[in-house]
Amino acid sequence: MNTIFNCVLLDESALNLEELARACAVEPEWVVHHVRSGILLGGTESRPEAWRFTSVDLVRARQIRRIEQDFDANEELAALVVDLSEEVQRLRTRLRALHG
């Protein structure tokens, strides 16, 4: 049984590989593959057991998984959609700051 955790992490906190996989309702191999493909960036160490993921990584992983699943998208397309969504959000934030 897969349990999806809804939580808010502080940037100082970190999830390990198993915790991130559980929080995204995926197998750890999914996370390893996406980190090694450069789609998820939380795994900076060479050994997956040493990887630590922040709340930003968790949000990105969940978005990528949802796009892959909902639209039957491959990992590259899902990552592109998430990258573009993040860029739109950054631009909106800058626009609000300029007009605020």
pTM: 0.82
Q: What is the pLDDT of residue 25?
A: 97
Q: What are the boundaries of each domain within the chain?
A: 17-99
Buried b (16+ CB within 10 A) or exposed e, 50-74: ebbbbbebbebbbbbbebbeeeebe
Least reliable range by pLDDT among 4-8, 10-14, 17-21:
4-8
Q: What is the pLDDT of residue 13?
A: 73
Determine the length of the chain.
100
pLDDT tier, 1 (very low <50, low <70, confident <90, very high otherwise)? very low
pLDDT in tens, 17-70: 999 999 999 999 999 999 999 999 876 778 999 999 999 999 999 999 999 999
The CATH-assigned architecture of domain 17-99 is Orthogonal Bundle (1.10)
